[in-house]
Amino acid sequence: MLATNPTPKPQHSKNVMKLEDLQKFCGTDETRAALMRPFSIGDRTFATDGCLIVWSNRIPEVEESIEVPHGKVNAIVESWVDGPWLDLPKEIPAHETSVTCGDCDGIGPCENCDSTGVVEAKAKGVKMGNKILSNKYLLRIAHLPNIKLAANSTRPLEACPIKFDGGFGALMPMREN
């Protein structure tokens, strides 16, 4: 259930994100190839990796998606809530990309790390409003101009609406331990 006030849907921004800026929010998992490039649905262009989605006014050179489920994307847009808005925290913990494998202490051989001695670092949770958001994703959106998050507008495990000059988006929160 969303906030009790009637919620205006995200209006079109005066600005349009550049294609190369949207590309930064696409996925990298080759098993989800449809998420590896921006896509358009109707009058909007989107980019997502499955945890974070951003959108802007339609970029003409980005084709209409036939691979991405329109219903899921439209449900995110329709569930977007307009505030109340919070600024990003002044300090967001750095995100380490890899850490020493805890199973083999970095010396292998080990199935957990494929004998490399390192594993992908887990994201750190940052409390914002009633949500716990990933430091990894907060750092990814921190450069967006005038970024704001509606971290109190939905239940704790529902997507957190974001807005910025040039577009809108939603970020999935983390679960507490």
- What does the alpha-carbon distance between residue 131 and residue 175 come to, in Å, rounded to a whole number? 9
**Separation in Å, CA 30 to CA 44, 92, 121:** 24, 29, 20
- What does the alpha-carbon distance between residue 43 and residue 69 come to, in Å, rounded to a whole number? 16
pLDDT of residue 63: 84
| Mean pLDDT confidence for 71-98 | 80
pLDDT of residue 52: 93
In this structure, is residue 162 part of a structural domain? yes
CA nearest to 151, candidates 83, 103, 95: 83
Domain total in the chain: 1
Q: Which residue has the tokens 């906030």?
A: 3
- What does the alpha-carbon distance between residue 64 and residue 61 come to, in Å, rounded to a whole number? 10
- φ, ψ of residue 33 to 5 degrees: the values are -55, -30
Domain that includes residue 38, residue range: 19-93+126-171
78 pLDDT above the threshold of 50: yes
In this structure, is residue 110 part of a structural domain? no
Please write the tens of the pLDDT for every residue from 148-167.
999 887 788 888 999 999 89
- What does the alpha-carbon distance between residue 105 and residue 124 come to, in Å, rounded to a whole number? 21
Percent of the chain beyond pLDDT 70? 90
pTM of the predicted model as reported, rounded to 2 decimal places = 0.77
Please write the tens of the pLDDT for every residue from 22-66.
999 998 888 887 788 899 988 889 999 989 999 999 899 988 877
